[in-house]
Structure 1
Amino acid sequence: MVENRPWLDALTHLVLVVGVLIVAFPVYVAFIASTHEPSAFVRGVMPLLPGDNMVETYSRMLGEGLELAGTPPVWLMLTNSFWMAMIIAVGKIIISLLSAFAIVYFRFPLRTLAFWTIFITLMLPVEVRIMPTFAVVADLGLLNSYAGLTLPLIASATATFLFRQFFMTVPEELMEAARVDGAGPMKFFKDILVPVSITNIAALFVIMFIYGWIQYLWPLLVTTQEQFYTIVMGIKRLMAQTDREPDWNLVMATVILAMLPPVLVVLSMQRLFVKGLVETEK
């Protein structure tokens, strides 16, 4: 029995509000900095109200970029990051669904070994195998391309493991009923397994989209043309201007714009995302 204690509810909400303020305040400061002149961020006393340069700053970054820092317009970098994150997220989910389906529902020699071989790759992130991976991508002529940006990151042992664990909880009666109705393996997969996995797919999509969106090291290696720069690369280049102080208002405007797509993805899929993380029974 849960006791009704108003003071405890008030304390809980107070802690939640304080936590939200702590997390949101740096974002607010970044937005305020993007609306003032460049010197406002480093002057020592940061204004807490928006300035007069917001329209000019955001229009300049979206439409022109910053030629001095070698960055293309932000809309182009946002587009590159979006397609990179989308291809990685969708590709990881498709490959993981199929591999988990094969491991759980098909009987073949060394099935367990195949699963653990996939799972062990968790110990070898891209940073560990980055040089041989780069050599393979370069030999295949995939530098400065979406294929080069995404293919080496598209497999996911974590998603395969999670889908395998979920498929093992699906009642065998569903498979037997599908078999009696004459459904083949792929029809069972498409019409039964995928629909009951929607919340898991949504939760993994959000996580994998953000994973692809924030990639920096791999795009830095495989792209040398501005037309393939991602937004994280652009932020770094804006901050690394030589022989002068960075234009912090432009940097912060780019940071705010870079934050919007992942936030919109999380908000639009919030209900399915939460259900996919907390549900134990389907």
Structure 2
Amino acid sequence: MIENRPFATALAHCVLILGVLIVAFPIYYTFVASTLSTPEILRPPLPLVPGDQFAGNYGQALFGGVGRIGGVGVWTLLFNTFVMAMGIALGKIVISLLSAFAIVFFRFPFRIAFFWLIFMTLMLPVEVRILPTYKVMVDLGLIDTYAGLILPLVASATATLLFRQFFLTIPGELVEAARVDAAGPMRFFRDILLPLSKTNIAALFVILFIYGWTQYLWPLLVTNDNSMNTIVIGLRKMISFADADTPWNLVMVTAILAIVPPVLVVVLMQRWFVKGLVESEK
């Protein structure tokens, strides 16, 4: 039985609307600033309505190039970041799926020890192993390359653990049925495990894509060429210690453009993301 409480419902809606306004207002304010010129931004108070420089600012940022990042357009930074985020997300999912599959469904010596070795890497983030990893990238000639941006961040103990725990819930009868039907390991993986894991994969993809999109330290070290910078690095380079030397209109444009792809990924995959977090399809 659902009780009808108009006051409680109205209060809940008011709290939700207030929360949305608190979260969305800084983004709206940034968008307004992205449609103004730099003198208008530096001259208080900043207006609350968009200006008339939308086409000029966004066109210059995307295709005209920004002086403080070597004349590279923000479009190039967005492309680099997208390639890095997609490579990290897909690479982590593929490697984690295969490693969890091997640990759960194959019997080989020291398989539990190997799992715990993988699990222990959770205590070794990139910051801890940054120097040896950077030296390996230099020795392999992967500085200023997409492979150098992606490969050191591909392995994921967290995703391996999550997939392992999910695979352990697969009924043994399903494995036996696949064996009776003469399904080999890879066919069992492709036709049974992958369809059952699709919501988990979707949830992890959203998390890992945003993880890759917001990376700062590793791209800062492994890219020297401005044309290989990611959007976060480019945004940081555009900001000077002196306000007058910073193209604030282009900074605001870059900040808005940096927000759009992760938001689109979350919005488009929201249903799968929620199902992957709260449900287990078997």
Task: Give the TM-score, by structure 1 length.
Answer: 0.96
The answer for the alignment partner of 1:48 in structure 2 is 48
Deviation beyond 6 Å, 4+ runs, structure 1: none
How far apart, CA to CA, are the structure 2 residues paired with 1:3 and 1:244?
A: 59
The answer for the alignment partner of 1:98 in structure 2 is 98
Q: Percent identity?
A: 63
The 5-angstrom pairing of residues 226-245 of structure 1 reads 226-240=226-240, 244-245=244-245
Residue 128 of structure 1 aligns to a residue whose secondary structure is coil
How far apart, CA to CA, are the structure 2 residues paired with 1:113 and 1:277?
A: 28
How far apart, CA to CA, are the structure 2 residues paired with 1:29 and 1:275?
A: 33
Corresponding letter in the other structure for 1:41: I
The answer for the alignment partner of 1:121 in structure 2 is 121
Cα deviation digits, residues 91-141 of structure 1 (max 9, x gap): 000000000111111111222111111111111110111111101111111
How far apart, CA to CA, are the structure 2 residues paired with 1:25 and 1:71?
A: 31
The answer for the alignment partner of 1:153 in structure 2 is 153
Cα deviation digits, residues 225-266 of structure 1 (max 9, x gap): 122111111100111366943121110100101111111111
The answer for the alignment partner of 1:86 in structure 2 is 86
How far apart, CA to CA, are the structure 1 residues paired with 2:107 and 2:15?
A: 52
CA contact (8 A) 2:78 2:231 kept: yes
The answer for the alignment partner of 1:215 in structure 2 is 215
How far apart, CA to CA, are the structure 1 residues paired with 2:5 and 2:281?
A: 31
Alpha-carbon spacing, 1:36–1:16, altered in 2? closer, same or farther (3 Å): same
Give the Å deviation of 1:81: 0.5
Task: Give the TM-score, by structure 2 length.
Answer: 0.96
Residue 19 (structure 2) pairs with residue 19 (structure 1): yes
CA contact (8 A) 1:69 1:241 kept: no
Corresponding letter in the other structure for 1:55: A
The answer for the alignment partner of 1:202 in structure 2 is 202
The answer for the alignment partner of 2:6 in structure 1 is 6
How far apart, CA to CA, are the structure 1 residues paired with 2:161 and 2:38?
A: 48
Alpha-carbon spacing, 1:243–1:55, altered in 2? closer, same or farther (3 Å): closer
Corresponding letter in the other structure for 1:12: A
The gaps in structure 1 that reach 5 residues or longer are: none
Cα deviation digits, residues 23-66 of structure 1 (max 9, x gap): 11110010001111213333331210001111100000001221
How far apart, CA to CA, are the structure 2 residues paired with 1:7 and 1:120?
A: 51
How far apart, CA to CA, are the structure 2 residues paired with 1:42 and 1:262?
A: 29
- The number of residue pairs the alignment matches comes to 282
Give the Å deviation of 1:68: 3.7
How far apart, CA to CA, are the structure 1 residues paired with 2:32 and 2:146?
A: 34
Corresponding letter in the other structure for 1:238: M
CA contact (8 A) 1:72 1:226 kept: yes
Cα deviation digits, residues 188-234 of structure 1 (max 9, x gap): 00100001100100010111111111111111111111221111111
Q: More displaced, 223-232 or 174-183?
A: 223-232
CA contact (8 A) 2:196 2:281 kept: no
Residue 139 (structure 2) pairs with residue 139 (structure 1): yes
How far apart, CA to CA, are the structure 1 residues paired with 2:182 and 2:6?
A: 58
How far apart, CA to CA, are the structure 2 residues paired with 1:42 and 1:265?
A: 33
The answer for the alignment partner of 1:32 in structure 2 is 32
